Amino acid sequence: MTHSSSQLADVAIIGAGPSGAVAAALLRKAGHSVLVLERQHFPRFSIGESLLPQSMAYLEEAGMLQAVVEAGFQYKNGAHFVHGEKASSYDFRDKHSAGWGTTYQVERAKFDDILIRCAAQQGADVRFGHAVLAIETGDAPSLEAADEAGNAYTVKARFVLDASGFGRVLPRLLDLESPTRMPARAAIFTHVRDALPAGSTDRNKICIAVHPERRDVWYWMIPLADGRSSVGCVAEAAFLDVPEAGREAKLRELIRTEPTLAALIGDAPFLMPVRHIGGYAANVERLYGPGYALLGNAGEFLDPVFSSGVTIALRSAHLAVRTLERQLRGETVDWLADYDRPLRRGIDTFRAFVDRWYTGELQDIIFYPAQAPSIRRMISAVLAGYAWDETNPFVADPVRRLNTLHRACMTL
């Protein structure tokens, strides 16, 4: 490994996924120099294909909305839930919170590539195939990085943002990981050529189906552009623990078990090998430290059920940059009060919904036949990503509100 000279930047960002790209663009708009170090080369596959409408505001703020709108992704306006004969659809345009009610279902390789290229067009220095090997934290943090040829160099920055997603670079380098309260779940998934006849399903909604016998096992079907769909199953890790060679048969068997997906997908050809991801739930004690902050999945990832990952990632970029801009101007900032707690409030809202999805209580609420329109709009707003809107009682006090609503559904 050869060493070259040190590089300077106001802000170094680890990872070029959505949170890194949006943070880079926002910092460039504020006039700061930004260096983005990404270990992989784009476009590259990523899971998390169904966006939430709340994320559109952050894409707009970062100057990326036009590029996303013009990319030709599948339009999305809600979610459709099924469990056997029961069905319930939420239209995200009919919601308690103000803001976007529509978004897209995206192939992440293309989507993430668009975002980071927008950031580069705004002046961010983006380096693909560059890995971060070590960090010195403090008032003037520095990174040890290297390219694929083994050329090592030092990056000196005024601040570091970790947007490395499931790579979780700083939590691993600095030993920040803390136990997550979420059970160990896994997902198996692929893309299919769906060839769905017109009108057979609403392509503008993600379909979330519950396993006929096990309420803690669920499926997604995300219609994408060009006649393909992303399809997967999520369950406790042991339920999906099959050798790699058996994954395709396992997913096919699971699809045939669920009546709606069996009818829609059945034996439609898989367009790529069935992939597996497990142990993705993650947590840290704090989302910041001396000279750095953690964005998106690098800090905390809950569960894929409500597609909250990209929205949390973009919200974290928005909040972190707002805090960091003040610090770079010389103001004293409180990262706990200005970034960590505000971000976690929305994460905790999603967590209350995720927990009750797996215990079955939220399923009882979603499939309840006589839903009050005003409460339905409050639930719809959270499902659309507005998990930080404290005017919504299910955001201000999600645990108590959901528990009370569930009791009402069970007794009425």
Neighbours of 120 (CB within 10 A): 18
State residue 243's pLDDT score: 93
User: What is the CATH code for 6-76+99-179+282-346?
Assistant: 3.50.50.60
State residue 278's pLDDT score: 83
Q: What is the pLDDT of residues 44-70, one digit of tens each?
A: 998 899 999 999 999 999 999 999 999
State residue 9's pLDDT score: 97
Pairing of strands 218-223, 228-236: antiparallel
State residue 397's pLDDT score: 97
State the average pLDDT over residues 202-231: 94
Q: Reply yes or no on whether the pLDDT at 1 is more than 70.
A: no
Share of the chain above pLDDT 70, in %: 98
Q: What is the pLDDT of residues 345-391, one digit of tens each?
A: 999 999 999 999 999 999 999 999 999 999 999 999 999 999 999 99
CATH 3.30.9.100 given to domain 185-278: yes
State the average pLDDT over residues 108-133: 98
The torsion angles phi and psi of 44, rounded to 5 degrees, stand at -140, 150
Q: Reply yes or no on whether the pLDDT at 221 is more than 90.
A: yes
Q: Reply yes or no on whether the pLDDT at 323 is more than 70.
A: yes
Torsion of CA 81, 83, 88, 91, to 10 degrees: 0
Domain layout of the chain by residue ranges: 6-76+99-179+282-346, 185-278, 365-411
State residue 285's pLDDT score: 85
Residue whose tokens read 């599948």? 74
Calculate the alpha carbon distances from 289 to 54, 285, 334, 336, 339 in Å.
28, 10, 11, 10, 12
State the average pLDDT over residues 231-242: 93
Mean pLDDT (the chain, rounded): 94
Two tokens, residue 382: 């959270």
Q: Reply yes or no on whether the pLDDT at 2 is more than 70.
A: no
State residue 201's pLDDT score: 81
What's the per-residue H, E or C state across the chain? CEECCCEEEEEEEECCCHHHHHHHHHHHHCCCCEEEEECCCCCCCCCCCECCCHHHHHHHHCCCHHHHHCCCCEEECEEEEEECCEEEEEECCCCCCCCCCCEEECCHHHHHHHHHHHHHHCCCEEEECEEEEEEECCCCCEEEEEECCCEEEEEEEEEEEECCHHHCHHHHHCCCECCCCCCCEEEEEEEEECCCCCCCCCCCEEEEEECCCCCCCEEEEEECCCCEEEEEEEEEHHHHCCCHHHHHHHHHHHHHHCHHHHHHCCCCCECCCCEEEECCCECECCCEECCEEECHHHHCECCCCCCCHHHHHHHHHHHHHHHHHHHHCCCCCCHHHHHHHHHHHHHHHHHHHHHHHHHCHHHHHHCCCCCCHHHHHHHHHHHCCCCCCCCCHHHHCHHHHHHHHHHHHHHC
Contacts (Cβ under 8 Å, ≥6 apart) of 334 = none
Q: Reply yes or no on whether the pLDDT at 72 is more than 60.
A: yes
Share of the chain above pLDDT 90, in %: 85
State residue 184's pLDDT score: 83
State residue 341's pLDDT score: 96
Alpha-carbon span 76 to 105, nearest angstrom: 6
Q: What is the pLDDT of residues 259-301, one digit of tens each?
A: 999 999 988 999 999 999 887 667 788 999 999 999 998 887 7
State residue 244's pLDDT score: 92
